[in-house]
Structure 1
């Protein structure tokens, strides 16, 4: 059954938080949490929150994790192992450089490329897509053709590489990996509006200019 995907724009840099729910079981995952607001908690009422899935460790995607974990203590906080230190360090998450306070948190599960996460009848697969950060990931639902890209791929653009841990070469390899996925996907990026993978293959200036 097709999952429901709800979008909230939260936090100091207006990052997207996605609520992915299996309608058969009400099992839910929160993808990125730049804040934990009353509106977010209200949307999660009656759902079985299994995971707090982080696409990377920058503060605008993780600041809401401690409060969200407190509200749903059985939910697993998941992040790639190369970005896990960001949860405990405001310097590594870049919160300190922005003058933003960060409550330390820890991961329940350290992700690797190819890991799968079961969400009721749904399965999300972890795609390691470094470049914006060393531990950046995307989450793919291959059955329903959904792709949550964090700050790797946006509508008509791509993630910055000028932060610590960023790499032009790694980002290009990650974009190439996404380009080479079979078929089309609905793309849910870390900021701004959703798009499709086919549209980005055709129109994204990074993919086109760099021969991707």
Structure 2
């Protein structure tokens, strides 16, 4: 039920319900993933969302390594998110974010670029972590979280150049955007969480070009 609970975080954060549950589309066995996706699976990371074109539509699914889920079950981030489980939380939340955003966009006939998908996931990971930690720490804002999540990032060495550039760009844009939101709405002297939430919901509903246009100004 962990992924269902994590998807509920995104649903509430963005007021963006969808008709499908990520848990129902989950694959945890890499052999099964290769069977479904074939050669297009490429290097298998701990998290991966796949979309397979079929006659009359697409087939979508979510792969998360079973060991990641096992560790999260033993150390539940929705009860206490900290250094013990932050990395695994981000891994699983990224997959759930990809799935949720694709389903939400497909239902509205909206195309989604790979950069847009990665950018939204970076924002989702940070925003949900901020919301959880602030709640779990009796309202204390996790000041070190931004540097921890955006400053210490690393990428798989087997990524091709285009993929690496896309991940780096998504990380850079999301870091700047989330820092801006922190400074405007979550600084102790300007504490306005309701405006933080409203801005996140507005950004979620922007398309690729509008998102990027806001971030490069």
TM > 0.5 fold call: no
Structure number with greater Rg is 2
Report the TM-score, using the length of structure 1 for normalisation. 0.31
Report the TM-score, using the length of structure 2 for normalisation. 0.30
Larger relative CO (CA 8 A, sep 6+): 1 or 2?
2
User: Larger strand proportion, structure 1 or 2?
Assistant: 1
